[in-house]
Amino acid sequence: MENKSPIIEIKGLYKSFGKDKDVLKGVNIHVKKGENLVILGKSGSGKSITIKCLVRLVEADRGEIKVFGTDLSKLDNDELNVIRLRIGFLFQNGALYDSMTVRENLGFPLQRHRAEFTESQVNLAIEETLESVGLSEAIDKMPSELSGGMRKRVGLARTLILKPEILLYDEPTTGLDTITSREISELIISIQKKYKTTSIIITHDMACAKFTSNRIVILRDGLVYTEGTYETLEKSEDEWVRSFFI
Ligand SMILES: Nc1ncnc2c1ncn2[C@@H]1O[C@H](COP(=O)(O)OP(=O)(O)O)[C@@H](O)[C@H]1O
Ligand SMILES: [Mg+2]
């Protein structure tokens, strides 16, 4: 039954900014182990805020967030950091360190969080992870020598190197051309298979949503407006829902 239980449970999530900017008004989202959940919604609908609340980068006003069965609001900072290490976050504009090679960029999280690793363990982890994202040949390059798609891959590798069980992707294909976007979508699936991760993918790219999603939720007016598979939502009777799929 283990793969049936939700690994992420968001219940009644509220978040406002200032007096009259109610962004989340009771969002409920569950993600099962091994699932890829896509979140759709117009710009400003609270998609990024939702996943930031999930890892408590932003504090929610109200609501329950359980990850791996643990209620995050009950954790102190040290306990929270232990959980956060099991969650990889690929930020919308996640930047690499420009003055460091790819190898050094990947070594950085290991130095911080895997201080016990020997030099050969570090090198092995870097090489293995780069291979997983199809970039073995870029190991000694500088970020400036790489294409946008390759930099995204390095960013993903830097997250993957700590072997997270959950991956949060915020617009992973935005700003990339169609072919490169397709490659990133394929990579998301290959990572799901290889690392057995559970993912939330925020995207506007419907090809990415179609390719990567096991299920989709659509946010509107601070709530989950509807959810379903790509195929069911595409045929929804609701014109507003269908408008995402044109
Ligand atoms: N730190 C903040 N202060 C004030 N407003 C914010 C802040 N962060 C986000 N917002 C507002 O919350 C809304 C939702 O933001 P966001 O989750 O980033 O939207 P999106 O669905 O495009 O990812 C937006 O209107 C944004 O302006
Ligand atoms: Mg966003």
134-178 pLDDT per residue, tens:
999 999 999 999 998 999 999 999 999 999 999 999 999 998 999
Q: Give the position, in ligand 1's atom list, of the atom nearest the Cα of 49.
A: 17
Residue pLDDT, tens place only, 125-135:
999 999 999 99
Contact in structure between 216 and 209 (CB atoms under 8 Å): yes
Nearest CA to ligand 1 atom 17: 46
- β-partners of residue 14 are 25, 62
Nearest CA to ligand 1 atom 16: 46
> In the chain, what is the straight-line distance between the N-terminal and C-terminal CA atoms, in Å?
37
Question: Does ligand 1 have an atom closer than 6 angstroms to the CB of 49?
Answer: yes
Burial 101-127 (b: 16+ CB within 10 A, else e): bbbebbbebbeeebeeeeeeebeebbe
DSSP secondary structure, 101-136, as one string:
-HHHHHHHHHHHH-TT--HHHHHHHHHHHHHHTT-G
List phi, psi (to 5°) of 243: -60, -25
DSSP secondary structure, 62-96, as one string:
EEEEEETTEEGGG--HHHHHHHHTTEEEE-TT---
Nearest to 170 by CA among 87, 232, 103: 87
Q: Give the position, in ligand 1's atom list, of the atom nearest the Cα of 202.
A: 23
Question: Does ligand 1 have an atom closer than 6 angstroms to the CB of 167?
Answer: no
Question: Does ligand 1 have an atom closer than 6 angstroms to the CB of 47?
Answer: yes
pLDDT mean across residues, the chain: 94
Note the pLDDT of residue 20. Answer: 86
Question: Does ligand 1 have an atom closer than 6 angstroms to the CB of 41?
Answer: yes
Task: Give me the amino acid identity at 178.
Answer: T
Which ligand is nearest the CA of 39, by number?
Answer: 1
Give the Å distance between the CA of 116 and the centre of ligand 1. 39
The pTM for the full model equals 0.94
| pLDDT tier, 1 (very low <50, low <70, confident <90, very high otherwise) | very low
Average pLDDT, stretch 203-231?
97
Q: What percent of the chain has pLDDT over 70?
A: 98
Which ligand is nearest the CA of 13, by number?
Answer: 1
**CA 92-94-96 angle, 5° bins:** 160
Say if residue 27's pLDDT is above 50.
yes
Nearest CA to ligand 1 atom 8: 49
Please give the Cα distance from 200 to 39 (Å, whole number).
7
Task: Give me the amino acid identity at 183.
Answer: E
Note the pLDDT of residue 228. Answer: 98
Residue pLDDT, tens place only, 48-105:
999 999 999 999 999 999 999 999 989 999 999 999 999 999 987 768 999 999 999 9
Please give the Cα distance from 184 to 16 (Å, whole number).
33
Give the Å distance between the CA of 49 and the centre of ligand 1. 6
Please give the Cα distance from 89 to 51 (Å, whole number).
9
- If one counts every other C-beta atom within 10 angstroms of the C-beta of residue 206, the result is 16
Say if residue 197's pLDDT is above 90.
yes
Which helix (H) or strand (E) segment is 150 a member of? helix 148-160
Question: Does ligand 1 have an atom closer than 6 angstroms to the CB of 45?
Answer: yes
Which helix (H) or strand (E) segment is 180 a member of? helix 178-195
List the 70-71 sheet strands across, edge first: 21-32, 6-17, 62-67, 70-71
- β-partners of residue 228 are 216
List phi, psi (to 5°) of 139: -55, -35
Say if residue 3's pLDDT is above 80.
no
Q: Where are the domains of the chain?
A: 96-163
List phi, psi (to 5°) of 57: -75, -30
| pLDDT tier, 4 (very low <50, low <70, confident <90, very high otherwise) | low
Q: What percent of the chain has pLDDT over 90?
A: 91
Task: Give me the amino acid identity at 20.
Answer: D
Question: Does ligand 1 have an atom closer than 6 angstroms to the CB of 17?
Answer: yes
Give the Å distance between the CA of 220 and the centre of ligand 1. 13
Nearest CA to ligand 1 atom 9: 49
